[in-house]
Amino acid sequence: MAQKSKEALYEDLKRKILTLELEPGETLDETRLSTQYGLSRTPLREIFRQLAGEGYIQIRDNRGTIVSPMNHTTMRDFFQTAPMIYAAIARLAVDNAKPAQIQDLKQVQTRFRRAVADGVAEDMVFWNDRFHFLMGQMAGNQYLMPSLQRLLIDHARIGQTFWRARTPEMAARIDTAADQHDRFIALIEAGDADAIVSLTLDHWSLSRDHMELFVRPDPLPVTLPETA
């Protein structure tokens, strides 16, 4: 029972962080979580250490545990680094993917497609994150994987402007993103490394402009005083 509670806490915290239900910098209440999941402090803190190692939270000595914050430096580093890491991961996924991993990726894509069809932003965020995480596992690179994991956390959080948009244009972009996921799978199966790098950059560009709205929103309307 305790193991199931630990697994539930781990998955729930990840989902809530990725979907901004828990906001960057928010303090995690150990007492409330212990009671809610029926866990003592020892297994709770084991989960915290795991999530901290993966970049979801920060454990601060004598100051509690917080959701990993985002600031100007985070944003700059994210937009500068993401396309390079994603492209390297995609190329290595082509080289190293195993049949069982490809099947897992197809199953996740089915869940992602279902979320798109249902229009559930939280599920789209979660399954999109899972899709690209599995590509990272396919790549099998011990140096790139920690960087990918950290990027994906902030990609999910910054990308809320993309997944939650309600305009016809954005709906079309989300459909395109789903189609590109299918293309990723096809190129991995075909072993086409050059094509998958090109697709990765297209996939990044599809959401980049709207992710930038997270830190550069349109200004509020200003009413100028009437002149006499």
* Phi, psi of 58, deg, nearest 5: -125, 130
Inform me whether the pLDDT recorded for 165 exceeds 80: no
**Could you tell me which of 18, 51, 8, 45 has the C-alpha nearest to residue 30?**
45
Which domains does the chain carry? 2-67 (1.10.10.10), 72-212 (1.20.120.530)
pLDDT of residue 216: 64
pLDDT of residue 225: 66
Inform me whether the pLDDT recorded for 167 exceeds 90: no
pLDDT of residue 214: 60
Distance CA 44, CA 183 (A): 40
Inform me whether the pLDDT recorded for 66 exceeds 90: yes
Please report, in angstroms and rounded to a whole number, the separation of the first and last CA atoms in the chain.
Answer: 74
Q: Tell me 165's DSSP state.
A: -
Per the model's pLDDT, the better-predicted residue between 159 and 101 turns out to be 101
pLDDT of residue 2: 60
Inform me whether the pLDDT recorded for 161 exceeds 90: no
pLDDT of residue 217: 63
Could you tell me where the beta strands, DSSP code E, fall in the chain?
27-28, 57-60, 64-67
Strand-pairing partners, residue 27, are 66
Q: Residue 72: pLDDT band by 50, 70, 90 thresholds? A: confident
What percent of the chain stands above pLDDT 90? 68
Q: Residue 35: pLDDT band by 50, 70, 90 thresholds? A: very high
3-state secondary structure of 57: strand
Question: Can you say whether the dihedral through the CA atoms of 78, 82, 83, 85 is positive or negative?
Answer: positive
Distance CA 47, CA 9 (A): 8
3-state secondary structure of 18: helix
Average pLDDT along the chain: 90
pLDDT of residue 13: 96
Per the model's pLDDT, the better-predicted residue between 17 and 220 turns out to be 17
pLDDT of residue 227: 63
Q: Which of 74-78, 109-113, 170-174, 221-225 has the highest mean pLDDT?
A: 109-113
Over residues 152-156, mean pLDDT: 92
Inform me whether the pLDDT recorded for 11 exceeds 90: yes
